[in-house]
Amino acid sequence: MLNHTTPEQQRRLVTEMPGSRSAELDRRRLEAVAHAVTPTLPVFIESGGQGILVDVDGNHLIDFGSGIAVTNVGNAAPAVVRRVQEQAAKLTHTCFLLAPYESYVAVCEELNQATPGDFVKRTALFNSGAEAVENAVKFARSFTGRNAVVAFEHAFHGRTNLTMALTAKYDPYKSGFGPFAPEVYRAPLSYPYRDGQTDGVAAAERTIAYLDKQIGGPNVAALVIEPIQGEGGFIVPAEGFLPRLQQWCNEHGVVFVVDEIQAGFARTGKMFASEHFGIEPDLVVTAKGLAGGLPLSAVTGRAEIMDAPQKGGIGGTYAGNPLACEAALGVFETIRSEGLLDRAAWIGSVIRPQLEHLQETLGIVGDVRGIGAMQAIEFVDPVTQVPAPEHAAAVAQACHSAGVVVLVAGTYGNVIRLLPPLVIPEDLLREGLEVFTRAITERDALVGLTG
Ligand SMILES: *Cc1c(COP(=O)(O)O)cnc(C)c1O
């Protein structure tokens, strides 16, 4: 029988943050858990649902993080819980490479249908985002017979060896962990707020000049790019940038790989962020929002590319585990039944004007950007526009103390990104936004240089 409980949808702080139980668990953490695995929040979470996370001391926090864009359909979403419970009672594992099962195929069918592009597609499933990105490169190298891979400034693609090489930011992701995979090249991005180039085609020409001169199209297997960068700080490329890059890929037989791990799955008001930019990737990489919190990732794309590797060359022991596949089917079901594409766009329409008002009135807010329920603020020095990570840290800290979970991002650590679950109740969304706005306004007043 369904054993599903949703916590009361209300922000409520009943102890200091952290409370005594969280503090005790944190002492155990420091004894038992490797210290490099460093949580942001000082509290331990016990349950969650829609827009609330409940900690072990009974504090109810508004969730503006969705576990980093994972629980887009809400935490412990009913359709996900029901399917996982039923599946767990029946069959937990066979390894799809050994003995297949229907749900794996059903998830691949859903992804082939949902991803942009009206061509014949195939999908392969994996466990983590990084694993899927690595496999996208394997498909591309196998198909093209080439080695070089192009990634971008401010990119984040994961923490395995190849994806560390693709990731831009050194600290904390790469320091001390080299040597990194060879044949990875980093190209200039379109970052309108910082590079001043609002013409995306012109920005792409600058990137292409670099690619042509310093790597050479015929050497490139894959160009890997996030349509809107996640960890990099929700950088939205100028209009025309992505289509021009896709065109360059087509001209040179380069596989155009779009990493939709953070921006995908209804987050931006479309199923995939690529749809906002008019691009049809050769391969789409998904993870995070795909399975509502169970570990599942995928590469989806052109059949001729996906069918290139030798038989048995792709897979994994747990890849496409039956529980995770059922969870993903529950996610697709929920996105449809709850109308979450429209809901994400609506969330954006609530958040965006408030943030833009702050940008107009406060000196520390340099830029506001994002699409749909994926919005961010970049904090700067009011006079020099130099990145100001201390403002982002202070605002995030103030939100956490007030019971609102927000995430810091950006190469310079000066961005706060908002990723509420798409099912968050309206009053929680507005209340969380109010807490966030107040924290920023107070910080700005403290800096004292506004106007
Ligand atoms: C999180 C993320 C990854 C890595 O996913 P993991 O599941 O943590 O390995 C890759 N790309 C993007 C854009 C991400 O946001």
Domain extent listing, the chain: 20-76+339-450, 80-337
In this prediction, residue 3 carries a pLDDT of 54
Atom of ligand 1 nearest to the CA of 260: 13
140, 283 Cβ separation under 8 angstroms = yes
In this prediction, residue 100 carries a pLDDT of 98
Q: First-to-last CA distance in the chain?
A: 60
Phi, psi of 71 (to 5 degrees): -90, 55
pLDDT tens-digit readout, 321-333: 999 999 999 999 9
pLDDT tens-digit readout, 172-228: 999 999 999 999 999 999 999 999 999 999 999 999 999 999 999 999 999 999 999
Determine the CATH number of domain 20-76+339-450.
Answer: 3.90.1150.10
* pLDDT exceeds cutoff 80 at 451: no
Q: Which residues line ligand 1 (CB under 6 A)?
A: 128-130, 133, 156-158, 226, 230-231, 259, 261-262, 287-288
pLDDT tens-digit readout, 251-271: 999 999 999 999 999 999 999
Q: Where are the beta strands (DSSP E) in 184-296?
A: 184-187, 220-225, 255-259, 283-286
At 4, the pLDDT band (50, 70, 90 cuts) reads low
CA of 447 to the centre of ligand 1 (A): 34
Phi, psi of 413 (to 5 degrees): 65, 25
* CATH code 3.40.640.10 for 80-337: yes
Atom of ligand 1 nearest to the CA of 158: 4
pLDDT tens-digit readout, 388-419: 999 999 999 999 999 999 999 999 999 999 99
Distance CA 232, CA 156 (A): 7
